[in-house]
Homo-oligomer: A and B are copies of this chain.
Amino acid sequence: MANQLCTVGSQSVRLQKEVYINGNASVVGKKEGEGPLGSLFDMVGEDDMFGCNTWEEAESSLQKDAVYLALGKAKRKPEDMRYIFAGDLLGQSIATSFGIMNYNIPLLGVYGACSTCGESLTVGAMAVSGGFAKEVVCVTSSHFASAEKEFRFPLAYGSQRPLSASWTVTGSGAFVLGDEKGENCQAKITGMTVGKIVDFGLKDSLNMGACMAPAAAATIAAHFIDYNSQPKDYDKIITGDLGSVGQRVLLDLLRDKGFDIADRHMDCGMEIYDPKKQDTHAGGSGCGCCAVTLSAYILKRLAEKNWKKVLFVPTGALLSKISFNEGQTVPGIAHGVVLESL
């Protein structure tokens, strides 16, 4: 039996069969635990090694713990999950490989830099809504120390950071998606807008907010056009990790496109730390930033019906140490996911 096309406009989908977030969990490091959302996270590490020997192993343990807790909340076992959609920022996604291996769940690895949380939910929701799985789990992570080593300088160098720099969140968020509503279901996914790569030619890896903002603006505008909707149709429009610099760029670019979202925009990177007290400059970033904020804060607001419908738009900067050193630009990408209360 043929499935009907559920495409909308040029790059969006409106799910014919909605997908339920039946379990979700967030695991973070010490600094995130001391931030404004600290009391909402499911697990806060005492230090950022999490009992491991390397930063990479510590990041793996974040994913392992987040999946464990999300499965617990959904009252499911690893073997109930048809696939795991997972990714992280490290080269060859090793935090994922070594983090989730022992769950023995068929793995589909995804990569979209810091937008990976949005991509994993997008592809995971397609798998469930399309009838390819009854239940899947999505997980993404980042770790401040492993990311600094991967993209910039080892921490031991003690290099200075400009005020436009963001602080990679040490954290992992996991989400159990299902085709039926579970008893701890927090919200449902009703649609997605898959983003394109947008390159404004910026090359500053210490100002990633500005590098990613054009992609966020493009995805959000495409979503409004595809859905024939307006900012007022959403209680919140939430970007991943643009930070304070990127937020200004985003609001300006969207205003130029005819959309004013200033009164309902929120950026996970600006929520997770107190930049004055915590010296985190432009805000939080990393795959983990929006993943843990989604689990701990956004889904809670939806579950409590403070918000009815949000557009969740994780943002990613598509660079590597090598592309940066070879003088390439830092293009951005952003994926939109429509989340609604039950």
Contact = CB atoms under 8 A, between A and B. Distances in A.
Contacts of A320: 90-92, 94
Contact of A328 (B6, B98, B112): B98
Nearest to A5: B131
A194 B333 CA distance: 27
A97 B2 contact: no
A109 interface: yes
Contacts of A134: 5, 7
A326 B54 contact: yes
Nearest to A330: B97
Given A56-B322, A106-B11, A108-B123, A130 B3 contact: yes
Interface string A1-31: 1111111000101001100000000000000
Contacts of A328: 94, 98
A301 to B, nearest CB: 27
Contacts of A54: 326
A66 B105 CA distance: 32
A129 interface: yes
Contact of A323 (B11, B98, B132): B98
Interface in A117-133: 119, 122-123, 126-127, 129-133
B131 A3 contact: yes
A178 interface: no
Among A104, A123, A132, the most chain B Cβ lie within 10 Å of the Cβ of A132
Contacts of A57: 326
A16, A91, A113: residue with the most chain B Cβ atoms closer than 10 Å: A91
Interface in A184-216: 194-197, 199
A5 B133 CA distance: 7
7 nearest CB pairs, A to B? A130-B130, A91-B91, A3-B131, A106-B194, A92-B320, A97-B318, A109-B111
19 contacts: A2-B16, A2-B131, A3-B17, A13-B132, A16-B131, A89-B92, A91-B91, A91-B322, A92-B111, A92-B320, A94-B318, A94-B328, A97-B331, A101-B199, A106-B195, A108-B110, A109-B119, A126-B126, A126-B132
Given A1-B16, A2-B16, 17 more contacts: A3-B129, A6-B132, A7-B82, A87-B111, A90-B91, A91-B91, A91-B150, A92-B113, A97-B318, A97-B331, A100-B197, A101-B199, A107-B197, A110-B111, A126-B126, A127-B130, A130-B132
